[in-house]
Amino acid sequence: MNQEIRKELEKQKENIINKEEEKENPNNKEVEKENKINKEVEKENQNNTDYKVYQNVIIFKNLQINIEDTLKNYEEQQIGPDIYKYDVIQLPNNEKIQDESKLRIFCEERDSNGLLLNKDKQVQLKKFSMKSPKPEFNLIKKLLLSMHVGEESWFKITNFKNQNENEIQEQNIKYYKIKIVEQQIVEKPLDLKALENRFLQFEKFRKYGNELFKNSQFENAIKKYKKGINFMEAWPKIYEQDPEVNQKKKYYYQLFCSNMAQSYIFLKEYEKAIMILEDIIPQCRGNEFEIKSYYRIIVCYIKTRDFDKAERYLREVKHVCQLDNDQLQLFDWLDKECRPLKKVKI
């Protein structure tokens, strides 16, 4: 009962405070009213737009627009015979569109009367390959090569030739509005007969694997590192006795294995990481992967509650490796973490 009385008193107190504030600020109600009107106007303006974007699809309310009036808002530039460009969004510092790339674009197509020609009153985000051999895409390619990633432009083709069923050519005006969302550069395959290109291929596997790892795509990163190892096994026999080549191959093998183990740790697949690390630790004496591999295998054995093996590798790393002060503190910390856990019975 006391709680109900207290709530009622607090409510009355709040009402009194609000009334006092209204007396001090008589414009509050007017401001609220004005904000409400502004919101309604904004909502109405949104409802009056010519299109809406929904899940990478532009849906138009009206199929026809006054195209020439629209183009008057932008500067005209001639980029080829019978081809005029009108930039809506210019980003000249962005990546320029390249001949052999793959794109994701919105492409709006209209006839001489401004009537939308795209199917279903929609413009969908589509993939487009600049290497496409289809002749009907040659014009679009020419338009795209004048643009940069992120740009949006209108194009007017004043002598557009269209072939009808009777094979009679009709000349017409056509308009395109193109927005480039993304470009993926397609790299040419390396000539793997050259030795230096084989090592460049190793670098590609490393780079792509590391990018996938940074984006937390650990399973895909593992696949890329495995491709690097498989590529190493398919090696020309003429290089088998070359000590410099074998040294470089050994480095990349340890690198791919080390990165694979770290990926498995992030996936909490500790047993798979342990199998890799136990294999490469004896091969890593004195190089950059040795201490990393010891640290990772100790962590894995702690995670799998095999504390005897964790302690064994802790003793080994301190005996075998030349540790600086920071590294020594790190392994001492792991040792302290391991000892109390060993006493805990599950």
Task: Assess whether the region 60-185 and the region 195-343 belong to the same CATH fold.
Answer: no
Among the listed residues 273, 228, 219, 280, the one whose alpha carbon sits nearest the alpha carbon of residue 252: 228
- Which one is the CATH code of 195-343: 3.40.50.1000, 1.25.40.10, 1.10.101.10, 1.20.1530.20? 1.25.40.10
Mean pLDDT (the chain, rounded): 82
Give the whole-number percent of the chain exceeding pLDDT 90. Answer: 46
pLDDT above 60 (res 45)? no
Task: Assign 335 to helix, strand or coil.
Answer: helix
CATH of domain 60-185: 3.10.50.40
Give the Å distances, CA to CA, from 117 to 36, 63, 122, 279, 342. Answer: 40, 8, 9, 62, 72
Long-range contacts of 18-22 (CB under 8 A, 24+ apart): none
161-189 average pLDDT score: 73
CB 284 within 8 A of CB 315: no
In the chain, what are the domain boundaries?
A: 60-185, 195-343
> In the structure, what pLDDT confidence band is assigned to residue 167 with cuts at 50, 70 and 90?
very low
Query: What is the spatial distance between Cα 11 and Cα 1, in angstroms, rounded to a whole number?
Result: 16
Rounded average pLDDT over 143-169: 79
Question: What is the pLDDT at residue 44?
Answer: 44
More confident of the two residues 226 and 8: 226
Residue-wise pLDDT for 276-321, tens only, equals: 999 999 999 888 899 999 999 999 999 999 989 999 999 999 999 8
Element (H, E) at 91: none
| Pairs from 69-76 (Cβ < 8 Å, separation ≥ 24) | 70/114, 70/154, 71/154, 71/156, 74/154
Q: Which amino acid type is present at position 338?
A: C
User: Sorting pLDDT into bands at 50, 70 and 90, what band is 166?
Assistant: very low
Q: What are phi and psi of 222, to 5 degrees?
A: -60, -40
Judged against a pLDDT cut of 80, whether residue 55 lies above it is answered with no
